[in-house]
Amino acid sequence: MTEKENRDARTRAADSLVSIYERQIIDGTLAVGMPLPPEREIMQSFSVSRTVVREAVQTLSAKGLVEARPRFRPVVRTPGYDAAIEAVGSVVNRLLTVPGGVRNLFELRIMMEAALVRGAALHADKHHVARMKQALADNEAAISDSQRFFETDVAFHRLLYEVPDNPVLPPIHQAYTDWLSSHWTKMPRDPERNHVNYRAHCRIFEAILFRDPDAAEFVLRDHLDDAWNQVRQTFEET
């Protein structure tokens, strides 16, 4: 806003518009759920053509600040960690195609989840424990149904992301499962393997019950490493 749109020929008018509305959205001038002004109104306000207005709106939409359903007025989106995840979707998908990409992301997940089970072992309260117990039961009940087992498997791991009361974490878990799911579902699955995974979950749970972070981390790493070895066979990297 200091020198803003002096239009140096090296700045795009659309970009200026984007940053203007970005600010308005961030500082709350444009509240959540509020629609952006009509395009023709914007073009008159800033004396720009409709072309730049539309480009600006498109960009705001791509950045995840507004939701622009076709034919509808773009509305300011709820600030959420899920919007952030969505915004990186394209780039991450691309990263997964470069050599070692899947491996790198999965190792990050292992690292985070190891930290999470340590935290769970130290801080999980009765409520969390009860939910994990339930999740384990669901998990066991689905051993014979690989599809359902996969879902309960994901659900069990998700609980780990809910123990710290940090709203950033659940979307991260969602992101991991979304991004890795295409590789994950290719993993061979059968009741025997499901049973192995179920037992691993049980051991993780027990370690948490015993408030033993080292054991919890060890078992979890073992569990995820094992899973990785299953997955890696579906594509040959290094």
Q: For residues 116 and 125, what is the distance between their CA atoms, to the nearest angstrom? A: 14
In angstroms, the CA 32 to CA 40 distance is 22
Closest CA to 237 of 108, 109, 94, 101: 101
By C-beta, is 121 or 136 nearer to a second copy? Answer: 121
Q: Report the DSSP beta bridge partners of residue 75.
A: 35, 67
Residue nearer to DNA on the CB measure, 39 or 138: 39
- Between CA 191 and CA 76 the distance in angstroms is 46
Shortest Å, Cβ 212 to a second copy = 13
What are 76's strand-pairing partners? 66
73 binds, among a second copy, DNA, none (CB under 5 to 8 A by kind): DNA
Q: Is the dihedral of CA 22, 28, 34, 40 positive or negative?
A: negative
Residue 99 near a second copy by CB under 8 A:
no
Q: Would you state the structure tokens that stand for residue 146, as one six-digit string?
A: 């690989």
Give me the phi and psi of 93, to 5 degrees please.
Answer: -55, -35
Cβ proximity to a second copy, 144 vs 166, nearer residue: 166
| 49-68: contacts with a second copy (CB under 8 A) | 51, 54-55, 58-59, 61-65
Does 7 bind DNA (CB under 7 A)? Our answer is: yes
**Of residues 109-128, those binding DNA (CB under 7 A):** none
47 binds DNA per the rule CB under 7 A:
yes
Of 68 and 209, nearer to DNA (C-beta) is 68
Nearer to a second copy, 87 or 196 (CB): 87
Q: Which residues contact 219 (CB under 8 A, 6 or more apart)?
A: 117, 200, 203, 204, 207
Q: Does 235 bind DNA (CB under 7 A)?
A: no
**Nearest Cα to 169, choosing from 111, 113, 219, 96?**
113
| SS3 category, 57 | helix
Of the pair 50, 186, the CB lying nearest DNA is at 50
Residues that bind a second copy in the complex, under the rule CB under 8 A: 9-12, 14-15, 22, 25-28, 51, 54-55, 58-59, 61-65, 70-71, 79-81, 83-84, 87-88, 90-95, 97-98, 104-105, 107-108, 111-112, 114-116, 119, 164, 166-169
Residues that bind DNA in the complex, under the rule CB under 7 A: 7, 9-14, 36, 38-41, 47-52, 54-55, 57, 68, 70-73
